[in-house]
Amino acid sequence: MQAIIEQLKTSVANTSATDIRAAFAADSNRFEHFSARFDDLLMDYSKSAVNKDIMALLQSLCEKAGVAEKREAMFTGEEINFTEGRAVLHTALRNRANTPVLVDGKDVMPDVNAVLAAMSDFAEGIRAGKITGSTGQQITDVVNIGIGGSDLGPAMATLALAPFHDGPRLHFVSNVDGAHIADTLARLEPETTLFIVASKTFTTIETMTNAATARRFIASMLGEDAVGQHFAAVSTALDKVKAFGIASDRVFGFWDWVGGRYSIWSAIGLPLMIAVGADNFAAFLTGAHAMDNHFRHAPFLENLPMLLGALGYYNRNVLDYATRAVLPYDQRLSRFPAYLQQLDMESNGKGVTIDGTPVKGNSGPVVWGEPGTNGQHAFYQLIHQGTSVIPAEFMIAAKGFEPELRHQHDLLIANCLAQSAALMKGRTLEEAKGQLQKAGMDAAKIDHIAPHRVFTGNRPSITFVYEQLTPFALGRLIALYEHRVFVEGVLFGINSFDQWGVELGKELATGLLPVVEGKAGTDGQDASTAGLVQVLSSLAR
């Protein structure tokens, strides 16, 4: 692999690959040459710093790294998450073909289908008012209590599918900060509220603490006996759920081969299903399944996750760009960047390769973003003129769900396309001077002002276009990004499916709680931590 990476670096150094503006001038068919399409989903990467040779090298890199073989190992249930001794089979959760998927010789599909059927019965029962609260009133509000993968997926997707939301209102409580649950409970009537405690492990301190607060809320307002009818749970740890006191017919399981950040397709999707209904949830799974098949079978230059992963790797490790911005021109995808932060950074923020040696070069980039057009009036200044190059990923639907506001959608599209064009084209000093001359500025002032109006251009971006953000399209989009993370993980040579990096902070927090509570002294703490504890406790008095 190293030889190909060196070839890529040489190619970048010796060709004008990074002069994207010149590449467009030289090839009027660049859009056709560097875009790929899967049904209505178009990926335009013509504004990336690539040429045909570089794409061929990236294809060789993927072949050399064994992406296709590792992809099959994932889809067929091999224990690729070897540090936790687990298969990685979120794809089985959306395996609409229902073909057998074996883990340790056992087909997991019957269990997957059984949980999906139980979820559907429960969700439709809540939506139809057949399953009520303890006083017989219809459930009007559902509160999902979970964090990380047990929160971000359903929270992001519920917002994304707002036009399909015809079930009870949904609320998401994640932060251990009591303000989060207090502000949520303040808006709710206990009689008509259902809490879903969502935790893969059922040990996460934030979720367990918030669940206990919610339990007290119901018990104090409606009595201890009412608790059962106002709670449901989603977990892999069924024994722990039982100990919490949630009745078994309200517990929806999943399995250790589903990573938290890949769990939206499992029972963790229950709040989404309650919001949009079982049929729309099925369409969401179908969209992801379509992307799975595409990823598994499409040739490299037509394979969207392969291309996205290869380009992500290239931007990070050949061009050395440390971050990437995800910029949905879709207000309903406003939580998508946050969702991708967990998906991408928890998966690929690793320092050692699968053989335990340090990663050569870099692993995953910082992922961040906000929806357009809002970001344009905030941080785009830095993307256009700052000293760091930040590859951008734009996404936009051809149509919204507000035909009466078509003009606003056209404005949205115009802005999205303008941004990627501006990043690519930039504005030279000559062009800046010419504009100022036209505006009638005197020559001395032009020399002074023009440099500030220069844009270097040649700033890479990828644009995704899709027809409309339906459940199917959302499922397909999320699966696309999941597989891009997979491809990059293989190229980095890491295990994308564990997350040991979150453990140390958790351990230290557990040790610090008695110190913060004043039950233990600050002996043994570093001077900064001890000093901060003392100041906080004196200010709290």
Could you give the residue numbers annotated as active site?
A: 346, 377, 506
Q: Is 150 in the site for ligand F6P (CB under 6 A)?
A: yes
Kindly tell me which residue out of 414, 502, 513, 536 binds ligand F6P, with binding defined by CB under 6 A: 502
Instruction: Single out the residue of 261, 335, 476, 484 in contact with ligand F6P (rule: CB under 6 A).
Output: 261
**Calpha distance 214→231 (Å, rounded):** 9
Q: Would you count residue 353 as binding ligand F6P (CB under 6 A)?
A: no
Residues of this chain, 382-441, that bind ligand F6P according to CB under 6 A: none
**Which one of 70-78, 107-115, 141-149, 187-195 is the stretch in contact with ligand F6P (CB under 6 A)?**
141-149
Q: Provide, rounded to whole angstroms, the least separation between the CB of residue 268 and ligand F6P.
A: 8
User: Does residue 189 contact residue 222 with C-beta atoms inside 8 Å?
Assistant: no
**Residue 371 makes contact with ligand F6P by CB under 6 A:** no
**Interface size with ligand F6P, residues (CB under 6 A):** 14
Find the shortest distance in angstroms from Cβ 251 to ligand F6P: 14
CA distance 88 to 73: 9
Q: In the complex, what is the shortest distance from the CB of residue 210 to ligand F6P, in angstroms, rounded to a whole number?
A: 11
Q: Which two tokens stand for residue 9?
A: 């670096």
Shortest gap between Cβ of 387 and ligand F6P (angstroms)?
33
List the one residue out of 200, 262, 209, 258 whose CA is nearest residue 233: 200
Contact 260, 200 (CB under 8 A): yes
**Site stretch for ligand F6P (CB under 6 A), options 201-209, 399-407, 461-469, 523-531:** 201-209
Q: Does residue number 204 form part of the binding site for ligand F6P (CB under 6 A)? A: yes
DSSP letter for each residue of 325-383: EEEEE-GGGTTHHHHHIIIIIIHH--SB-TTSSBPSS--PPEEE---TTGGGGTTHHHH
Question: Toward ligand F6P, which CB reaches closer, 346 or 370?
Answer: 346
CB of 147 to ligand F6P, least distance (A): 5
What is d(CA 539, CA 519) in angstroms, rounded to the nearest whole number?
Answer: 17
Do the bridges between strand 169-173 and strand 141-145 make them parallel or antiparallel, or are there none, so unpaired?
A: parallel
Token pair for residue 454? 């220069």
Q: How far is CA 147 from CA 206, 268, 508, in A?
A: 7, 11, 19
According to the binding rule CB under 6 A, does residue 149 interact with ligand F6P? Answer: yes
Q: Applying CB under 6 A, which of residues 147, 155, 264, 479 lies at the interface with ligand F6P? A: 147
CB 419 within 8 A of CB 394: yes
DSSP result, 41-105: EEEE-TTSS--HHHHHHHHHHHHHHTHHHHHHHHHTT---BTTTTB---HHHHT-TT----EETT
Q: Alpha carbon of 433 to those of 140, 352, 450, 453: distances in Å?
A: 61, 50, 6, 9
Q: Least distance in Å: CB of 399 to ligand F6P? A: 34
Residue 280 binds ligand F6P, judged by CB under 6 A: no
201 lies in the site for ligand F6P, by CB under 6 A:
yes
Residue 81, interface with ligand F6P (CB under 6 A)?
A: no
- Piece of the chain touching ligand F6P by CB under 6 A; list 194-202, 244-252, 277-285, 444-452: 194-202
User: Which one, 502 or 508, has the nearer CB to ligand F6P?
Assistant: 502
Residue 148 sits in the site that holds ligand F6P (CB under 6 A): yes
Q: Give residues in contact with ligand F6P (CB under 6 A).
A: 147-150, 199-201, 204, 207, 260-261, 346, 499, 502
